Amino acid sequence: MSTFLVILHGLLAVALLGSITHQAIAVVWPARSKAGFVNAYRSVSSRVYVNANIVLFLIVAFLGGYIYPIYRVWVRTYLENARLFPAVGSFEIKEQFISIGLGLLPLYWLVWRRPDPASDSARTAVTLMLCFIVWFGFIVGHILNNIRGFFGL
């Protein structure tokens, strides 16, 4: 069951990663036309992604919290015994970033609720912060999962 939950957590994290990255690119680098693949990628309505990003972030964070005891008991113990302290520390930082991201979600929803030109910089900043948090969490989680698989945990 735990393997299924880890895989589900990873798949939903990939969906969140794609969604928040697509929105961040459209916010930072808007397209003037839809001609070509890159312009079509950039010309999406960024507002459409807000609710999906919030729901995905909450689900991924909840699943991560649910499977956390497995990591804490089995994987982290091995990493500490193997003296892989950078891996353990990076996961600790990931936890803090995810907590900050959970705290940013109400602000994220608020600045995207009724977009106006006065809050463009706030929308951009909050979206980029969440994008960074999601990328950091994904990369750290992926690396730790690879370490876990490599050592047969």
Q: For residues 115 and 123, is the Cβ–Cβ distance under 8 A?
A: yes
pLDDT, position 142: 87
| Helix, strand, coil fractions of the chain, as percent rounded to 5 | 85, 0, 15
Query: What pTM was computed for the model?
Result: 0.86
Residue range 100-121, pLDDT digits in tens: 999 999 999 999 988 777 888 8
Domain boundaries, the chain: 2-150
- pLDDT grade, residue 81 (50/70/90)? confident
In degrees rounded to 5, what are phi and psi of residue 30?
-65, 150
- Tell me which of 72 and 58 has the higher pLDDT: 58
3-state class (DSSP) for residue 116: coil
